[in-house]
Amino acid sequence: MKRAGNELLQFLGGLAMLVAGLYILSQKVMVSTSFFGYGMMLGRFSVSNGMIMIPFIIGIVWMFASGGSFASKVFTGFGVLIIVVSLIISTNIRLVHMTLYEWIVILVLIFGGAGLLAKILFMNPKAGRGERGGYGEAGGVGEDRRIADERRKLKEIEKEIEQMKKDR
């Protein structure tokens, strides 16, 4: 039966691989935005940046004029949501030039590290522990054998005590 390795070392190794892969990937990605130059496309319609701000401005004015009614707060929140969505939509993410070797190393580090982390985080603590038993008092195959041995020894001791009582 295969013995499990040191789970802490596997976890730390997987975490290190994942962090290294994500760091290298972050160095190979260019992020830019076109929010301040082009506006936002909604279907077939192009909405300029000034038009995106109008619901937010109306909501602020309405909130101060009405004393902070619920509807004005919802409208202002809707205006903020439109601004955030337009920023996300106008973000461009590009990979810079890299070799196939670099790309494979990045993928192996990210997905290999994630796989090691998933293996440790989602493993069954009772399975595959062999003679070492489970974690603490939780049993494995070895733990069950020890319990059976202890019960057998306890029965033998009880029989000896009964025999001693009879001999008296």
pLDDT of residue 33: 75
Q: Tell whether 72 and 87 lie within a shared domain.
A: yes
Q: Tell whether 147 and 107 lie within a shared domain.
A: no
Helix, strand, or coil (residue 53): helix
Q: Is residue 128 part of a domain?
A: yes
Q: Is residue 2 part of a domain?
A: no
H/E stretch holding 111 reads helix 100-121
Q: Tell whether 103 and 142 lie within a shared domain.
A: no
Q: Tell whether 143 and 114 lie within a shared domain.
A: no
Q: Tell whether 139 and 162 lie within a shared domain.
A: yes
pLDDT of residue 1: 39
Confidence (pTM): 0.49
| Residue given tokens 């929010």 in the structure block | 35
Q: Tell whether 18 and 39 lie within a shared domain.
A: yes
pLDDT of residue 166: 86
Q: Is residue 14 part of a domain?
A: yes
pLDDT of residue 137: 47
Q: Tell whether 158 and 108 lie within a shared domain.
A: no
pLDDT of residue 83: 86
- Distance CA(150)–CA(160), nearest Å, equals 15
Helix, strand, or coil (residue 127): coil
Q: Tell whether 116 and 134 lie within a shared domain.
A: no
Give residues with Cβ within 8 angstroms of 122, minimum separation 6: none
* Distance (Å) of CA 11 to CA 105, 110, 133: 20, 14, 20
pLDDT of residue 133: 46
Count of domains observed in the chain: 2
Q: Is residue 1 part of a domain?
A: no
Q: Tell whether 78 and 152 lie within a shared domain.
A: no
**Are 18 and 109 spatial neighbours (Cβ–Cβ below 8 Å)?**
yes
- Distance CA(80)–CA(90), nearest Å, equals 16
Largest alpha-carbon pair distance within the chain? Answer: 104
Domain that holds residue 132: 124-168
pLDDT tens digits for the chain (168 residues)? Answer: 345 568 889 899 999 999 999 999 999 998 887 755 455 555 566 667 678 888 899 999 999 998 888 888 999 999 999 888 888 887 888 888 999 999 999 999 999 999 999 998 888 776 555 544 444 445 555 667 888 888 899 999 999 898 888 887
Q: Is residue 20 part of a domain?
A: yes
